[in-house]
Structure formats: C-alpha cells, structure tokens
Structure 1
Amino acid sequence: MKTFTLPLAALVAISALAPSYAVIYSASNSAIGTPGGDRFQHQVGLDYALDVLEKGSSSFWYAFAQQNETDRKNVTEITVTITQSMIGISDNVNGDIRVNSKYIGNFSGDVKEEFTGIVYYELARALQWDGQGQAPAGLLTGVADFFRLKAGYAPRIRS
C-alpha cells in the first residue's frame, strides 16, 4: 500500500500546480428599477445571460480551433453585469463585461438578440490571445467584430 500512496500523492501535488482552465460564469443586473435594467430582467434575464456566456465561449473556442484547454488563454472567470454607471454600449476589463442599461432601455428592436451580439463581441475580447498585451487594438477589435458577425449577430447599423 505504501508504494501506491507515494505516487498518488505525487500526482495530486503535480495536478495542484497545473493551471486550471475551467471558467466560472456569472451574471448580475445592478440596474433593476431603471428602464433598461427592468427591460433586461423581463426580456433577457440572468439565466439567458449565463447561457450566452457558456455557449458563446464554446463557440469562440471552436471557431478559433481551441477545443483543447491548453490552447486557450487562461481565463478563470467571466462576468456580465447590466449597469447604469458607464459611458458607451459595453466594455470588458479582464473578463468583467459591463453592458449599459441605458442602451438596453433605448434599443429599438430585438433586445435579446442585440444583447447576445454584444456579449459575443465582448467574449471574443476576453478570450482571444493578445500577444501579451502587444497586439494592436484594431486587430483585437477586428477579431471580436468578425466573431460576432460569423455567429450571426451583426450589429445594427446606426445612422
């Protein structure tokens, strides 16, 4: 039994040192009580947001041939938050995706489809390799735009 215990302990120790590629997804709506926060809650919902994060990540990895976890950028958590305290439509910092509730509230059209497209774009920004921060911003944006378009969620043209 002692000969079995030592190799097992060594394997456990080695596996603890290996990077973890499992991604934890979460979603929240901090804009409840505002027109956009309420519209999100009723027409999109947190369960759908989580589903979009999971399916969008899988789609990204498939589209860019990263089915093997070791080929992927090591992202441990991705969060989407509906917030009223931002400028612009959305942003993403280290996998923390924020979507502007004012944009959701004022959007005329299928808000669920638009939300999905926004999240796909921001997921691509979070999951793509960036040359250790050295890749040109236009390249990263172009990859995210391409992914959103190929997924069938082209942004609505604004006049």
Structure 2
Amino acid sequence: MKPQHLLLVVLPYLPAILAVKYVAINDAQSSPGGARFEAEIGIPYTLEIMKDINYFIWDIFQQYNESERKAVELVKVFIQQYDGAEAITYGENVNVSALYLQGYQGNLKWEYTSLLHHELTHVFQWNGEGQAPVGLVEGMADYMILKSNYYPPAFAKAGTGDRWDQGYDFTARFLEYCEELRSGFVAELNKKMRHSFSEDLFVELMGKPLPQLWAEYKAKYAH
C-alpha cells in the first residue's frame, strides 16, 4: 500500500476509560469507487458516524455498563477494491466494497450510513459464541437499520417472510414484533446470547415457544 493511498485518523470515545477508537482507511483511492467515496462520503464523515452508530447500538442493546459490552478497543472501516458482498465484517474490521460504492444508484451517503449501522452491529453484538443462528445475527443487524430509520423502501414489510430466522429484514421485522410485545426484548435477548444460544430464550423472555410466536406474528399481518 502506497503511503499516499492511506489516510488514518483516530478518534477516542469518551469517557477515556472505555478507550474505543475508530479508524477509517480508503485503500481504493485510485479506483472509481474509492474516488466516489472521497467525493460523496469521506473519511471525516465515516469517523463521525462510526462513533454515533456505536452509541446508538449500545443504547438499543441497553448496554449502559462497560461490563455488559464486548471488549472492543479499536474498530476499523476499510474501503477496498473487491467484488462480492457490499460489505463484510471480520471481528472488529469492516470492509466496504469500492465496486459496490461505484455502482450504487441513489444517495450514496445515505446508503453508506445504513450499511454501517448493519456492519457495526456485528462488531458489538453477542452471538452466543457462534451458537446463534446466522439468520438471527443478521436480523439483529438489520434491526439496527430499522430502528435508525435508515431502511430503504424495499425493506421487508411487517408479517412477511417464511421463517423467523430467515435473516436480515425478515427477521428484523419479527424482532420488532417481539419488541412491541415486550419492551426491551431485543436488548435482553442480546445480553442472554453472550455465551450461548437456545430457542428456549424466547420462552424465557416471551413466555411462548418460537413456533407459536411466529404463527401469531404471521396471523397478525395476514390481512
């Protein structure tokens, strides 16, 4: 990587005891997508929303004490030239595709902000140490998009989907339904997924097994 292609800025999260830092790097400045990122989004905006989204996620998960949170010290967002998914998160690193940014039709800054709400949720959420269904993990990430109002018109409507763990926007809508029945449900579920996962968590929190919850959810929106 050439020095002129790297721009690194670190912002501390206050209070200092939390020591969360944010880094944004455009590794694709010479590509059309990387250039569009610089023109329409930029590193300063990325750092600003990384911190804002971090606060937002902790608030939705009701993680007001440091002991309740994942021990995240440094979060990095990379703009990289690769083909495939629009963004991929590995641990505390979020890789955003410059090719996706290049080809996106519409308000790129809005879409990018929506995308980071999803990807940064993966950084901070619990997943039962890998035991939680992928659909639930992805659904929680899309739930953040839903709660932040950064969801597109094509986002799943309430009551749609074939399974509770279908993932993404379908599962996000089901989580929204559970939250309506029990305020704080999503936060409690996330906390209970710190070390393990079982479908019995839904019985514990909602008083009903998942098949019944899903059937009642579908029935509510059947019309």
TM-score range, shorter chain: 0.7 to 0.9
Which residue is equivalent to 1:77? 74
Does 2:119 align with 1:122?
yes
Partners of 1:124 and 1:144 within 8 A in 2? yes
- Correspondences of 1:4-153 after superposition (within 5 Å): 21-153=18-150
Residues 72-93 of structure 1, C-alpha deviation per residue, up to 9 Å, x if partnerless? 1111211101101242100000
Instruction: State the 4+ residue runs in structure 1 displaced beyond 6 angstroms.
Output: none
Residue aligned with 1:132, SS: helix
Partners of 1:90 and 1:97 within 8 A in 2? yes
Residue aligned with 1:139, SS: helix
AA at the equivalent of 2:111: E
Question: Which of 154, 159, 184 does residue 157 from structure 1 map onto?
Answer: 154
Structure 2 unpaired stretches of 5+: 1-16, 156-223
Residue aligned with 2:129, SS: coil
- The farther-off stretch of 130-139 and 37-46 is 130-139
Distance 1:78 1:141, change over 3 A: same
In the aligned structure 2, how far is the partner of 1:120 from the partner of 1:95? 14
Partners of 1:94 and 1:126 within 8 A in 2? yes
AA at the equivalent of 2:73: T
Structure 1 unpaired stretches of 5+: 1-19
Name the % identity: 35
In the aligned structure 1, how far is the partner of 2:48 from the partner of 2:83? 24
How many residues of Structure 1 are paired with residues of Structure 2 in the alignment? 139
Shift of 1:107: 0.6
Which residue is equivalent to 1:12? none
In the aligned structure 1, how far is the partner of 2:152 from the partner of 2:65? 30
In the aligned structure 2, how far is the partner of 1:98 from the partner of 1:152? 23
AA at the equivalent of 2:100: Y
Partners of 2:34 and 2:98 within 8 A in 1? yes
Partners of 1:36 and 1:102 within 8 A in 2? yes
Residue aligned with 2:95, SS: strand
Indicate the structure whose relative CO is greater, using CA pairs within 8 Å and at least 6 residues apart: 1
With structure 2 as the length reference, what TM-score do the two structures score?
Answer: 0.60
